[in-house]
Structure 1
Amino acid sequence: MMTRPRSTATLGRRALLALPALAPMRGALAQGSRTLELIVPYPPGGGNDTGARALAPLLERELGIPVVVQNRPGAGSQIGMAQVARARPDGLTIAYGLWPQTTTLYLDPSRQAGFTRESFTPLALHATDPGAIVVRADSPLRSLADMIAAARSRRDDFRMSDNGVLGHEHLASIRLQRLAGVAFNQVHFNGAGPALTALLGGQTEAAIFAVGTASAQMRQGAMRAIAVLAPQESPFLPGVPTARAQGYDIVAGSTRAFVGPAGMPPEVQARLAGALERAIRTPEHEERMRQLSIPITYLGPEGFAAYWAQEERELRPLIEELARAGQTQ
């Protein structure tokens, strides 16, 4: 494939640099591709996009090839995840997806997602970010009791936004409505970025976001959290009580993880998984994630696969129930 002679020294140096990181990917390299495409199936500005871009330079360093983050939003992440499921399993296309969103997409028969858990190769679970119920800084709502009272007085017209149908935010909202005996006017958005814009612009009155997603706006004083959807208070939101402490036993959050297409050769999976683990565990990445208020909860391929299978078992009855009731649209 070379068009002109090169010195033996130059070729030797390049071979030594490329071999440790790229040996398992020879098939792809033979076709001239030397870039890893990291698909984020959400718009820019949300927690997944931020997390992917925080890790990409470190992953690039570990692999020795460029890592390009590509946003492929649409249909609650279905478009981007389907793209990865259809990709060649050569180790040069992976996704940074969101769970339970990925699982609920294919469990909902009305979505016709075009993929299942078996359509992917698990690589690494990166972080699990607990949810929080937030309002604008100037909102009169100071607690879940205030919010439930407002929703009850508004007769199904209290506007609660989420990042997409059947994401952890939507499922947490459904559970809260059932526990409190109220009904929100649930407004679905295609990712956290648009949902944040809607809340700050007054189009919705409350929202559920992962703590890391909303932390920047809260630090700037634009939003307030009134409840954390975790077993304990978040160290990133000191003084904000849990929903459980306010009488509503709801635990929810966004799990972010890396997958490739099914059929990836074991040596390619191992190379990518190893590079991801090393990148995730670097002190500089741990510090960056702390700054983003996103806790790292790393699991390797086997641990992530077990987590995913268990999540699927737990969610299947609920999604089937919601689908029968027409609440998955």
Structure 2
Amino acid sequence: MHRRRVLAAPALLVTSGVGASRAGAQSLSGRTLQLIVPYPPGGGNDIGARALAPLLERELGLTVVVQNRAGAASQLGMAQVARAAPDGLTIGYGLWPQTTTLYLDPGRQTPFTRESFTPLCIHVTDPGAITVKAESPLRSLADLIAAARARPDDFRMTDNGRFGHEHLASVQLQRLAGVRFNQVHFQGAGPAAVALVGGQTEAGIFAVGTASSNVRQGVMRALAVLSRRESPFLPGVPTAAAQGFDIVAGSTRAFVAPAGLPAGLRQALAAGLERAILSPEHAEKMQQLSIPITHQGPEAFSRYWQQEEAALRPLMEELLKAGGN
């Protein structure tokens, strides 16, 4: 008798979870989902969100409207997600570590923390790449470091936003090489790429997906990939470690909803996102865009976020004391 009860309990929980997910999906069907991208058009987050939107519409049976809410290094858009009603009709497509470093900077007075959101899933983990414009005389990290050493505090390195993965990788490179860049911060990959190609800056760090697109167009040259192994999307480009600088960095793009999202809606959204992300159509599209899919569900995303926050907190305190550049 007792044994039957023990065995029945998990089955009841599974049935309850499935029922909640189905109810959540039914409540979303036919509605309009606002997908907030907290960056300008043209960057990796915008491209990835728009590639996924039609498949998410199919999986959830609703209309997806992608809205760019750029500003303050993604703070404006992420704040809008955090303030939204937890009704399953507003989700955000943020960037990590950028989202975490925003609220770890007291000076920003960011109106959200990790607890302001409901993690849904990780979509992409895209390693970084150090690039220059195609006409640049710099052809290796050694060339770049020599140029920076010859012009202390003057060599212009661009990133997609203060305390994003690109900026943090630049800080690490400066420390390892014993040089100082003139670090130029932009609001997203699109404006940063335009500045580099236009000659306003001399080098930049971008996610491989963004870098490879510009390399294929013939407007940028990649000098190094910031991962343990070379990227198939930048064939022949050595890692930074292979050039004497052990730097591994990149962007994680993920979906969140406001805190307080009911369990059924969370399950429905997470399941719909998973089906869309892992569909053959999306895999093919992301391959064309040179963006690697690394799907992880809500629980794995939650663990990742907690661990990242714990690791970044002391680094952020150190950088802020030193002036943050």
Partner Cα separation in structure 1 for residue 86 and residue 122 of structure 2: 19
Letter in 1 for 2:238: P
Q: Following TM superposition, by how much is the alpha carbon of 1:316 offset from its aligned partner in structure 2, in angstroms?
A: 0.6
SS of the counterpart of 1:165? coil
2:230 counterpart of 1:233: yes
Q: Following TM superposition, by how much is the alpha carbon of 1:23 offset from its aligned partner in structure 2, in angstroms?
A: 3.7
2:302 counterpart of 1:287: no
2:305 counterpart of 1:314: no
Q: Deviations over 1:116-165 (max 9, x none)?
A: 11100000100100000000111000000000000010121000000000
Q: Of 185, 195, 207, which residue of structure 2 is paired with 1:198?
A: 195
The answer to whether the 8 A contact 1:24-1:267 is kept is: yes
Q: Of 251, 254, 258, which residue of structure 1 is paired with 2:251?
A: 254
Partner of 1:128: 125
2:59 counterpart of 1:52: no
User: Aligned ranges for residues 101-250 of structure 1 at < 5 Å?
Assistant: 101-250=98-247
Partner Cα separation in structure 1 for residue 103 and residue 178 of structure 2: 29
SS of the counterpart of 2:257? strand
Q: Following TM superposition, by how much is the alpha carbon of 1:253 offset from its aligned partner in structure 2, in angstroms?
A: 0.3
SS of the counterpart of 2:135? coil
Partner of 1:3: none
Q: Which runs of 5+ in 1 are unaligned?
A: 1-18
SS of the counterpart of 2:231? coil
The answer to whether the 8 A contact 1:25-1:90 is kept is: no
Partner of 1:323: 320
Partner Cα separation in structure 2 for residue 22 and residue 190 of structure 1: 39
Letter in 1 for 2:133: R
Partner of 1:70: 67
Partner of 1:37: 34
Letter in 2 for 1:269: R
SS of the counterpart of 1:61? helix
Partner Cα separation in structure 1 for residue 259 and residue 296 of structure 2: 19
RMSD, aligned α-carbons: 1.7
Moved over 4 A (4+): 19-22, 25-29
- For residues 256 and 285 of structure 1, do their structure 2 counterparts lie closer, same or farther at Cα, with a shift above 3 Å needed? same
Partner Cα separation in structure 2 for residue 211 and residue 26 of structure 1: 38
Letter in 2 for 1:249: D
Partner Cα separation in structure 1 for residue 125 and residue 27 of structure 2: 34
Q: Following TM superposition, by how much is the alpha carbon of 1:214 offset from its aligned partner in structure 2, in angstroms?
A: 1.9
Partner of 1:98: 95
Q: Which runs of 5+ in 2 are unaligned?
A: 1-18
Partner of 2:3: none
Taking structure 2 as the reference length, what is the TM-score of the superposition? 0.92
Partner of 1:79: 76
